[in-house]
Structure 1
Amino acid sequence: MMRHNTLRFLRMILFLIMGALGIFLVQTLAELLFTALSPPQLSALTSSEARSLVNLLNAKLNQAMAILFIVTGMAVPLTANLYSLKFLELFIRNPVIISALLFVIFVNLSGLWTSYSSSGEAVPAFHLALMLVLTIASLLLIFPYLMYVFRFLHPKTLLGLLEGDVKACLRHARQSRGAAFNRERVAETLEHIANIAVRSVDRSDRNTAIDSVLSLEKMARHYWSVRNQLHSSWFEADQNFFLGFSSLAVSQMTASRSWMEMKLFYQFFEVLRAACPRMPELTSTIAKSLRKLGLEPASLENPALRELVIDYFNTFLRLTINRRDVRSVFIIFDQYRTLAETMEEKFPKEVLEVAYYFEYYGMAAREQGLPFVVETVAHDLGALVKKAWQNESPFRKEMLDRFLNYDRQAKPPLPGVKKAQALLASYFIHSGQEEPVEFIRRSFHELEPEFIRRLERELLQVTSQKYWEVSERRMNIEFVPEPQRVKLREFFDAVLGNPGARDAIPHRQK
């Protein structure tokens, strides 16, 4: 991005120079055509006229320098205070900005020397010509410089520069002598990116906050692409990067060579703490980024990273449940379930573990008085069980048992939990799997008939797959596909011991 801005800066200067030359040429030709003056007469100056010209040019130079430095001195610190102090370091290191400021300073020094040389009756023609050209150049520089600085101060530019810093550090970390220094710089840069997101949340700047999270996601992917090229000393975790962690935890990061992922995912957590419950769109972005990174080959093939991704999803759930942020919990469970469904085929044991966590955090939500979350988790848990049976997982029976025991101690049971179990039963009947259907049927035996009929009525009333309000999932979790609707009736008939025909159940569009 900065290379593009630099090229645009140079093109703008070239355009202005050509425009200025055109104006000077037209003015000079007009003067020669409409007056009796000759070219030597136009440039001839007395000593008094020369001093007046020098004073005028010095005044313009002072104005140009004042504009450049005042704008820089105000805009850069303000932007750094809004987003990150890293702005100041990047500003000082920018060659275009520093070159422009130094150019104006040296032109002013040239103007002082020309003023000194104009004392007495002497007319320093070369100095005057050079000062005139430099003054014009300084004035032409103002607009391109301001445009360049304003683009530089855009948050996306800062994020791009920070990403470039990380990539440069990773290149230098391939050698032993650069590993320790670049470890520190990368860890610091990740924190700066997270700080930009947090401060953006404070100002309700949603786009910048989301861009910051996506920047962290890109950094993780780039890191995995060069991970095998880094020197072994790079993977030594530094206690200073994890001040809130025990020395044992830091040593485990060194052993698993996962300190970078821990640091990066922790930035997700820091941003989530700021976003919850103020910015659900950012929560969604964080959960999606963690899910996508968790499904990257570099993560899936590494047991330590698979465990780390699951741990962070659990941490996200704990935070959002404790804050009673129902919408965020809903979002995170959706991404967590999608992650587990994708992992099920190759890593069924980890998915069985995830099913336990679903049950655990569902109960935590019940303790917090969040029944909607409890019911949503039941549907997500049912989806995992369905996926396990589709893939013929060796742990599918354990998954089903965990699902049927979910919220079993609740009195009375939540309707949403039993609906999820009934929906799963209708799928099993439709797919011709009687054994799991029998297990689910037994879990309904202790329920009141009227309660069961109510479940049936409410499920069959839902005839639209899309939810009637705009939500993150968009789909109605209680929707029954048409082929399963008949099987759902069969299941409820079998539970009530009343197979066969019965009165039609009225449908209501939802």
Structure 2
Amino acid sequence: MDDEPKAAQPPQPPQRPHEPSVSPNAVTREEKLDDTMHASRSMILRRLPLDGQSREAELRRRQQARGQYRLALKTWSVPLLMIGAVVVVFYLLSFWLNVLSYTGTEELSLVDRLVHQDLEKAQNTVGGLGEVMAAVLGLALTVSSIIVQLAATRFTPHITVLFFRARTNMLVLGFFVVSTLFVVWVNFSLDGADYVGPRWDVMFSMLLMTTSLLLLFPYFAYVFDFLDPNKIIGRIKTNGLDACTTKLGRQSISIEQRQRSAVEAVEHLTNIGLNALQQKDKNIVSATIDALREFCVEYGEMKNGMVLEWFKIPDRQSPDFVSLSPEAITDLRHRRTWLEWKVLRQYQMLFTEGQSQIKDICYLLAINTRRLGEAASVYGDLRALDLTIKFFNTYLRATLNASDIRTAYNILHQYRQLGETVLEIGKRSKPTVIDRDKTLADRAIEIAHRMRYYSGVAFQRNMAFVAEVIAHDIGTLCERAFQLSSECHDDLLRIFLAVDDATESADKAKALRGVRKAQIKLATHYLVYGATSLARRIADDMRNEDPRRLRSMWVELANLDTPEFWEVNDRGSNFDYLTPDQKATLPRFFQWFEGLQADSPALYDSLVLRK
């Protein structure tokens, strides 16, 4: 990470007195108390699945999740029945023609022709069947092995394990092997020249061979369907979620094994995404990112029912944990967010690769990180929300270091939406038991504070547009907090008015233009709803502005009539657009400044200074 000048650094908290070092495995008194409360709540929640209706609902949900990755029954039955029916019809037709054209005296019987055979005919039949069955088995194994190996090379080697553990695959291949062995043994044991009874062993050999041939097409369809990238991703995600819970008969598996399975599922999904990034396969990367988000969200639903042993970090040698300090490991264990950390670290890895491969993936990662934060807010898991905020800050730092304005623009859009959601949920929620000293409103303030900090970093890197975007986004947070009557509104407004303080540059006047427009826009919002005192606070902050610059901004804001931006972007809105009600308050706002008249300026006012 690049070193930043001291002027852009956020305020540092006061230094704490020296504390003795603590082992990562040590348990503090506060953590024991916290664990006791969490354990009592977890025991209550773990009793819920024992209820009949709850358990049945959980079973149905899991079965539906697994069922969507299975090949439909008609894919097996329709080809088998259609091909079999055609063969039977042609065989019966040929036999009927034989009956019509038969001139002998003995009666022709279909059953006799199928069952009663002499030894020589039976040996010839079974001998040929053995070769056919061996060819069928070899064809099935060869084709499936080649296809699976190609898919494993393209996506992840874990596909091979999934394929050969699949019950359907084992049943079909097992049927081929059993049929081949049966025919071989019948051929080996066929004897008895004087035997005149029905040859049922030969008949069963024919039936097994016919069924094996009929199963080839459905089996190949199953193999290709199994190796569909979206279904592979879904199976890995489902297996990882199953490992995260002791429900549904998994009590016999140790916590360490389940932790290892969950971590492996996350890593396998990441490998698929990284390989797809290298191949520029945007759809597969998107599916992988969505699967990781769904995994983390569904894990959050079950998290309160986990036993305390689950929250111990399973493997310190993992690349995502090995570099962490003992204090950081202790913090993750105490906060119970090691799995969320694992998922978000995979997001960070994909983000880094996406910056050089497919930048649209960075936008999707920001969207899914926001959704993770929103889900954590809904569940009341504020510590997981803190992680998403931290990784949003990491994304912004990476984009600013790379001078990637476009990516920063889109990430800020998602970051601001997370702040809005936090405000809305925080308005109707209560502080959690685990983290009662810091509410959702405090998280909204932290989001605005971090955004303001990165506006200063952007100015220092000559990316004034990013600072303007941040000003508009914090202004939007202020609008939302004002509408919700949030307790953190005054703090947000104070941060908003401090955005321009970080613009210590020679070209400050030009850079501040977009920030000032954002302030004027927020002031008009306050005036529309009668909050004159808040609008005056903004006017006081702009008191030293040149009247000519203020008048030019007045003209631009008053004459912008298009709410949508004229280029394609993810936001789809024009920053400087004001509603008719807001435009009506512009004269009232600007009359508080000396040198400006109360009436609106003309479109081509001679005092307009366009810079």
TM over 0.5: yes
The 1:251/1:175 distance shift into structure 2, 3 A limit, reads: farther
1:11 aligns with 2:77: yes
User: CA deviation digits over 1:267-301, x for unaligned, max 9?
Assistant: 22222223235434433332222222322366662
Q: Which amino acid aligns with 1:186?
A: A
* Residue number in structure 2 paired with 1:143: 217
* Residue number in structure 2 paired with 1:356: 449
Q: Map of 1:96-495 to 2, 5 A cutoff?
A: 96-117=168-189, 125-172=199-246, 175=251, 178-238=254-314, 239-241=316-318, 242-276=321-355, 278-296=357-375, 301-344=380-423, 346=426, 347-408=440-501, 409-410=504-505, 411-413=507-509, 414=511, 415-495=513-593
Q: Which amino acid aligns with 2:294?
A: K
Equivalents in 2 of 1:176, 1:136: separation in Å? 42
The 1:405/1:122 distance shift into structure 2, 3 A limit, reads: farther
Equivalents in 2 of 1:110, 1:180: separation in Å? 43
Q: Map of 1:490-505 to 2, 5 A cutoff?
A: 490-501=588-599, 503-505=601-603
Q: Which amino acid aligns with 1:471?
A: N
Equivalents in 1 of 2:88, 2:363: separation in Å? 55
Taking every aligned residue pair, what percent have the same amino acid on both sides? 25
Residue in structure 2 matching 1:80, options 134, 152, 155: 152
Q: Which amino acid aligns with 2:479?
A: K
1:69 aligns with 2:136: no
Is this contact kept in 1: 2:71–2:225, CA < 8 A? Answer: yes
Equivalents in 2 of 1:194, 1:278: separation in Å? 15
User: RMSD between aligned alpha carbons?
Assistant: 2.9
The 1:49/1:495 distance shift into structure 2, 3 A limit, reads: same
* Residue number in structure 2 paired with 1:90: 162
For the residue of structure 1 that corresponds to 2:585, the secondary structure is helix
Equivalents in 2 of 1:224, 1:499: separation in Å? 57
For the residue of structure 1 that corresponds to 2:207, the secondary structure is helix
Equivalents in 1 of 2:484, 2:144: separation in Å? 61
Equivalents in 1 of 2:372, 2:547: separation in Å? 47
Following superposition, the deviation at residue 379 of structure 1 comes to 0.5
Count of matched residue pairs: 507
Equivalents in 2 of 1:53, 1:340: separation in Å? 76
After TM superposition, the structure 1 stretch with the greater mean CA deviation from structure 2, 138-147 or 160-169, is 160-169
Residue in structure 2 matching 1:35, options 102, 113, 117: 102
Following superposition, the deviation at residue 394 of structure 1 comes to 4.2
Equivalents in 2 of 1:280, 1:122: separation in Å? 80
After TM superposition, the structure 1 stretch with the greater mean CA deviation from structure 2, 77-86 or 397-406, is 397-406
Equivalents in 1 of 2:265, 2:69: separation in Å? 21
The 1:294/1:503 distance shift into structure 2, 3 A limit, reads: closer
Following superposition, the deviation at residue 180 of structure 1 comes to 1.6
Is this contact kept in 1: 2:587–2:598, CA < 8 A? Answer: no
Is this contact kept in 2: 1:299–1:306, CA < 8 A? Answer: no
Following superposition, the deviation at residue 128 of structure 1 comes to 2.7
Equivalents in 1 of 2:560, 2:277: separation in Å? 38
Is this contact kept in 1: 2:273–2:288, CA < 8 A? Answer: yes
The 1:226/1:499 distance shift into structure 2, 3 A limit, reads: same
The 1:113/1:427 distance shift into structure 2, 3 A limit, reads: same
Is this contact kept in 1: 2:458–2:464, CA < 8 A? Answer: yes
Is this contact kept in 2: 1:287–1:332, CA < 8 A? Answer: yes
User: CA deviation digits over 1:357-387, x for unaligned, max 9?
Assistant: 0011122223333232221111001112223
The 1:435/1:23 distance shift into structure 2, 3 A limit, reads: same
Following superposition, the deviation at residue 148 of structure 1 comes to 0.5
The 1:354/1:18 distance shift into structure 2, 3 A limit, reads: same
Is this contact kept in 2: 1:467–1:474, CA < 8 A? Answer: yes
Equivalents in 2 of 1:323, 1:31: separation in Å? 82
Equivalents in 2 of 1:3, 1:91: separation in Å? 13
Equivalents in 2 of 1:11, 1:474: separation in Å? 49
User: CA deviation digits over 1:89-130, x for unaligned, max 9?
Assistant: 111111111221222223222333344345896899334322
Following superposition, the deviation at residue 198 of structure 1 comes to 2.2
After TM superposition, the structure 1 stretch with the greater mean CA deviation from structure 2, 38-47 or 96-105, is 38-47
Following superposition, the deviation at residue 425 of structure 1 comes to 1.9
User: CA deviation digits over 1:291-337, x for unaligned, max 9?
Assistant: 22322366662332232221121122222222333232222211111
Structure having the higher helix fraction is 1
* Residue number in structure 2 paired with 1:24: 91
User: CA deviation digits over 1:404-435, x for unaligned, max 9?
Assistant: 22133343231211211121122223232233
User: CA deviation digits over 1:132-168, x for unaligned, max 9?
Assistant: 2221111111100000010000112112212321232
Is this contact kept in 2: 1:461–1:506, CA < 8 A? Answer: no
The 1:490/1:138 distance shift into structure 2, 3 A limit, reads: same
Is this contact kept in 1: 2:127–2:187, CA < 8 A? Answer: yes
| Higher normalized contact order (CA 8 Å, seq sep 6+, divided by chain length) | 2
After TM superposition, the structure 1 stretch with the greater mean CA deviation from structure 2, 476-485 or 496-505, is 496-505
Equivalents in 1 of 2:90, 2:459: separation in Å? 77
Is this contact kept in 2: 1:490–1:499, CA < 8 A? Answer: no
Is this contact kept in 1: 2:179–2:209, CA < 8 A? Answer: yes
Is this contact kept in 2: 1:220–1:261, CA < 8 A? Answer: yes
Scaled by the length of structure 2, what TM-score is found? Answer: 0.76
Equivalents in 2 of 1:3, 1:462: separation in Å? 52
